Amino acid sequence: METVPQLQRKLGILDDQFTQLQELQDENNPDFVVEVVTLFFQDTERLLNELARTLDQQTIDFNRLDAHVHQLKGSSSSVGAQRVQTVCVLFRNYSEERNIEECLKCLQQLKQEFYFVKNKLETLFKLEKQILEAGGTIPVQ
Amino acid sequence: MESCNCIEPQWPADELLMKYQYISDFFIALAYFSIPLELIYFVKKSAVFPYRWVLVQFGAFIVLCGATHLINLWTFSMHSRTVAIVMTTAKVFTAAVSCATALMLVHIIPDLLSVKTRELFLKNKAAELDREMGLIRTQEETGRHVRMLTHEIRSTLDRHTILKTTLVELGRTLALEECALWMPTQTGLELQLSYTLHQQNPVGYTVPIQLPVISQVFTSNHAVKISPNCPVARLRPLAGKYMPGEVVAVRVPLLHLLNFQINDWPELSTKRYALMVLMLPSDSARQWHVHELELVEVVADQVAVALSHAAILEESMRARDLLVVQNIALDRARREAETAICARNDFLSVMNHEMRTPMHAIIALSSLLQETELTPEQRLMVETILKSGNLLATLINDVLDLSRLEDGSLQLQLGTFNLHAVFKEVLNLIKPIASVKKLLVALNLAPDLPEYAVGDEKRFMQTLLNVVGNAVKFTKEGNILITAFVAKSESFLDSRTPEFFPVPSDNHFYLRVQVKDSGSGISPQDIPKLFTKFAQNQSIATRNSHGSGLGLAICKRFVNLMEGHIWIESEGLGKGCTAVFVVKLGIPESSNESKLSFMPKMSGPQTNFTGLRVLVLDDNGVSRSVTKGLLVHLGCDVMTVGSSEECLHVVSQEHKVVFMDVGIPGIDGYEVAVHIHQKFTRRHERPLIVALTGNTDKITKENCMSVGMDGVILKPVSLEKMRSVLLGLLEHRVLFEAI
C-alpha cells in the first residue's frame, strides 16, 4: 500500500492540492478529507454516466460534453486528482476538435484513471479508519 | 551955407566905381535874401534837420547882411540922417547876429563833421556785414548740400548705390565736369578706377598706389589740389581749347569690421583708402573755393561712414545666414539623434518581449522535458539545451538591463528582504560549481549585520552572485572567502576611494561585502578595464571561461544605483584578488515586520479572520466544499450557494466577501457581480467580490475588472494563498493577482 507522498511523487496520481486538503483537516473538521473525496466520487460517477450518454447520441452535443468535462476538471483539480485532470484537459481539446473517436478514448481513460484513484483512496481511508479505531494516530506527512 | 542933417560921404563919388559898387551891392542883397529862402525851402523838404534854430539864426544873419548891403545902396548919394540911422542899426544888428552865428558855428561844425564820419563808419560796417552774410549764405548752402548728399548716401545700404549717388550728387552740387572714384585692389598695390560720373563703363584702369601724388593725398585728411596731368586725373581726352579745370582729390577711408576691436577704436595705421577725384569744368575760370573743399571733405567722411555701415551690415547678414544654416543642421542632427534613440528604445522593447518569449518557452519546456523519463543521452542533450538556454537568457537580460541602466531608466525595486537568506542562497547556488572545482567556499557574516534590509533584493543578489561567480570562475584551486559586515565611516579613509564618503544615518546603513579568492589575480594595469563593457581579460587562464564581459559592468551600475562603490584589489598575476563592494541599504522599520507575514515561513494559527462572513458561489460541489473547507480552516463563517439566483437572494450586507467561480459555463458570474453592485450602492455596504478562475488569460482578468470585481485568484488555491488573499483584500480592499 503506497503512502500519499508515494502516490504523489512516484505515480503522479495526486498532486499538492490533496496535501492542502489534508492540511485543512483539524479537530473542528475531522472528516473533511473523507467528505470531500466522497463527494468527488459521487460527482464524478454521475458525470461519467452523463458523458457516456452524451457520446452515445446520434448527434453529439459538444457544448454539453464540454460543460461536463469542465465540471469534472474542476472537481478533480479541487481534490488533487492530477491524472484525472490531465485527461480532462485532453478530453476538452478533442471535444473542441469534434473528434468523436478520441473523445471516446478519453472517456475510457477517464474511467480508468478515476477507478484507479478511487480504489487507492478508498483503501487509504479504510486503513486510516482502522488505525484510528485501534487508537493510533495518523502521522502528518 | 545951409546946415542940413545930411551926411556927407567920406570919399568923393566916382561915377563908374560907384555904379559898379551899386550893382554889386544890389546883387549881394538879392543873393543874401534868396539864400535863406532856399534854405527854408529845402529844409522843409527834408525830413531831418536838427538845427532849426541855427537856421533861424543864420537866416537872420544873412537877411541883416543883405539889408545892410541894400541900405548901403542909399548911402552912395546924399542921404538923410534917417537913412544913416537905419543903416547904423542894421549894421549893429548884423554885427551882433554874425558874431553870435560865428560863435555858434564853432560848436556846430564839429558836430556836422562827426556826423559825416559816422556815416562813413556805418557804410563800412554795412559793407562788412554784407560780406559776412554772403559767406554765411554760402556756408549754409554748403551745409544743405552736404545734408542732402548725406541723406542720399545714407538712405541706402548698398555699396554701389552709395558710391554712385555720391558722385552724382557731388557733380550736381558743385557743377563738376567729372568725378571719379579709385578703389584699392585686392592686393592693395594698385588703385582701380571703379566709378565715374559720366563715363558709363570704366575700363579696369589701374594706377599703382605708390605714386607721390597719391601718397600726398592719402596722408592728409583734407582735400588736396592736384595737377590735372597726373594719372588719376587724366580720365578724359582734353576737349577744351584752354586750360583744363582745377582738380581736387580727397581720400576716403575704407573701414573694415576687422578694424574695430572691442575695446579700442580703429587704428589708423591699418586703414585702406580710396581716392576721390573731382574736376571742375575746363575752360571756365572757376576755382576751388574753400567752402567747396570743405564740402568735399565732409562728403568723403560721410561716404566712409556709409560704406562701413554697409560693410558691417553685409557681414552681419552673412553671419546670420551662416547661423541659420548651422541651426538647421543642428536641428536635423538633434532630430536624427532623437529618432535614433526612439528607434533604439523601440527596438529594445520589442526585442525585450520578442527575445524573452521564445527563451521562456525553451527554458520552461526543456526543464519540463528534464522531468520526464529520458535515456541518458537524451538527458545529456536536454541538459545542454537547458544550460545554453539559461546562458542565452542571462545574456539577453544582461544586455537589456545594461541598456536600460545606461538610459537611466532602470529603477530599483525596493522592498524588505532577508539579508542573511540572500547570502545563503548565493552560497547554495555557487556550492555545486565550487565543489566540482574542489574549491572551499566560506561565508562570514558579521554579528551586527541586520537580518532584514530594505533594498532591491533581486539586483543585490545578482550583483553578489556575479562577484562570487567571478571569484569561482577565475580560481582554479584554493578557497573563496565571503565576508559581509556593516561599514563604518573610518574604514573608508583609504586612498582607493577618495571621493566616496558614506555617512550612515538612522534609517540607512552601508553594507560592505568582500570576496577574496586565491585565483589567478589581475595585473594592476588591467584593473581599470574590468568594469568597462565587453572588455575581457584575455589571459590564457581565462580563455576557457564564458561570459560576455558585461557582468562586472552591470554590477557596477547596480552598485551605483544603490549609492555605493565597487572595486577590485589585486597584488598581481597569480596572487589572487579581492572584490569589494559597498552598498547602501535601508533599515526596515519595526512596523514593516508585519508585512513579512507573506513569507512562507510564517505558518501557524489563524489570523483575525474569525467570524468573517463570506459567501461562496460555485456550482461544482467538490470545488465548493474545498473552498469552504479552506475558508472554514481560516476561521471564516462560510455560506455556500450553488446558483446565481440563490446567491443574489442570499447575499447581504453582513457578507464581507463573495467568492465566485467564473469558469462555470451557464452561470454568468459577471452578471452576478453587476447585480451585487446594483444592490449595494454604497461602497462600505457592498461585500468584496473575488473571482476564482482556472483561466490564465488576460481577457478573464479584464472582464472581471470591468464588471467591478475586487479581485481575481487562480485556481487551485492553496491555504497560504487564501490567507494572503484575505489579508490583502481586507487591508487594501483590492487584490489582483498577476496572471
Grid cell, residue B381, equals 542533450
What DSSP string runs through B364-403? Answer: HHHHHHHTS---HHHHHHHHHHHHHHHHHHHHHHHHHHHH
**Chain A to chain B Cβ contacts (< 8 Å):** 69
Q: How far apart are CA B35 and CA B69, in angstroms?
A: 15
Q: How far apart are CA B650 and CA B653, in angstroms?
A: 10
Residue B254 Cα distances to B4, B179, B277, B593, angstroms: 119, 18, 16, 87
Cβ-based interface (< 8 Å): residues of B facing A: 619-623, 625-627, 629-630, 632-633, 661, 663-666, 694, 715-716, 718-719
Count of residues making up chain B: 739
- Structural domain tally of chain B? 3
Question: Which candidate in A11, A28, A29, A36 is best for mutational testing of the B interface (most B CBs within 10 A)?
Answer: A36
Nearest to B58 by CA among B37, B82, B85, B79: B37
Question: Which candidate in B620, B634, B668 is best for mutational testing of the A interface (most A CBs within 10 A)?
Answer: B620
**CB-based contact B620 A75, cutoff 8 Å:** yes
Q: Who contacts B310 (Cβ-Cβ below 8 Å, separation ≥6)? A: B157, B158, B159, B162
**CB-based contact A17 B625, cutoff 8 Å:** no
Nearest to B621 by CA among A30, A125, A111, A47: A47
Asked if residue B370 is part of any domain, the answer here is: no
**CB-based contact B715 A77, cutoff 8 Å:** yes
Same domain, B623 and B672: yes
Cross-chain CB nearest to B622 (options A24, A32, A43): A43
User: Is B438 annotated for ligand binding?
Assistant: no
Asked if residue B139 is part of any domain, the answer here is: no
For chain B of 739 residues, list the mean pLDDT of each consecutive stretch of 10. 62 75 86 84 72 76 84 77 85 87 83 86 95 90 80 78 83 84 80 77 73 85 83 66 77 69 53 83 80 85 82 86 95 93 80 78 84 86 83 77 66 84 86 84 88 86 87 85 83 54 74 88 75 55 47 83 87 84 83 44 51 84 82 84 83 82 66 81 76 71 78 75 79 54
Q: Which amino acid is at B414?
A: L
- Residue of chain B with shortest Cα separation from A15: B716
Asked if residue B116 is part of any domain, the answer here is: no
Cross-chain CB nearest to A71 (options B620, B626, B718): B620
- CA B241: distance to chain centroid? 68
Same domain, B172 and B248: yes
**Residue B642 in contact with residue B624, Cβ under 8 Å?**
yes
Same domain, B621 and B564: no
Q: Who contacts B661 (Cβ-Cβ below 8 Å, separation ≥6)? A: A74, B617, B618, B619, B620, B623, B669, B691, B692, B693, B715
Same domain, B310 and B223: yes
Question: Which candidate in A14, A17, A20 is best for mutational testing of the B interface (most B CBs within 10 A)?
Answer: A20
- Whole domain around residue B164: which residue ranges? 155-235+243-260+268-318
Nearest to B402 by CA among B523, B558, B199, B290: B558
**CB-based contact B629 A66, cutoff 8 Å:** no
Same domain, B442 and B520: yes
Model pLDDT, residue B321: 94
Asked if residue B119 is part of any domain, the answer here is: no
Same domain, B429 and B291: no
Grid cell, residue B125, equals 560796417
Q: Which amino acid is at B153?
A: I
Q: What is the ipTM of this complex?
A: 0.75
Same domain, B620 and B689: yes
Same domain, B516 and B579: yes
**CB-based contact A20 B716, cutoff 8 Å:** yes
User: Is B652 annotated for ligand binding?
Assistant: no
Q: Who contacts B226 (Cβ-Cβ below 8 Å, separation ≥6)? A: B213, B216, B217, B232, B233, B247, B248, B249, B277
Q: How far apart are CA B287 and CA B138, in angstroms?
A: 15
Cβ-based interface (< 8 Å): residues of A facing B: 16-17, 20-21, 23-24, 26, 28-29, 32, 35-36, 39-40, 43, 63, 66-67, 70-71, 73-80
Q: Who contacts B328 (Cβ-Cβ below 8 Å, separation ≥6)? A: none
Asked if residue B148 is part of any domain, the answer here is: no
CATH number of domain containing B195: 3.30.450.40
**CB-based contact A78 B716, cutoff 8 Å:** yes
Model pLDDT, residue B593: 45
User: Is B164 annotated for ligand binding?
Assistant: no
Per CB-CB distance under 8 Å, the chain A contacts of B716 are: 17, 20, 77-78, 80
Distance from CA of A31 to the nearest CA of B (A): 11
Distance from CA of A105 to the nearest CA of B (A): 23
Q: What is the pTM of this model?
A: 0.34
Which helix (H) or strand (E) segment holds residue B564: the answer is: none
Give the Cα-Cα-Cα angle A15, A20, A22 (nearest 5 degrees).
105
Which helix (H) or strand (E) segment holds residue A126: the answer is: helix A100-133
In the block, residue with C-alpha cell 478533480: A76
Q: Which amino acid is at B454?
A: V
A45-98 pLDDT per residue, tens: 999 998 888 888 888 888 888 888 988 988 888 888 888 888 898 888 888 888
Per CB-CB distance under 8 Å, the chain B contacts of A26 are: 633
Question: Which candidate in B626, B638, B715 is best for mutational testing of the A interface (most A CBs within 10 A)?
Answer: B626
Same domain, B552 and B678: no
Q: How far apart are CA B260 and CA B267, in angstroms?
A: 8
Same domain, B559 and B478: yes
Model pLDDT, residue B246: 83
**Residue B217 in contact with residue B249, Cβ under 8 Å?**
yes
Same domain, B575 and B692: no
Distance from CA of A133 to the nearest CA of B (A): 24
Model pLDDT, residue B513: 92
Asked if residue B524 is part of any domain, the answer here is: yes
- Residue of chain A with shortest Cα separation from B619: A71
Asked if residue B449 is part of any domain, the answer here is: yes
Asked if residue B511 is part of any domain, the answer here is: yes
Same domain, B553 and B486: yes
Grid cell, residue B331, equals 536641428
Distance from CA of B739 to the nearest CA of A (A): 19
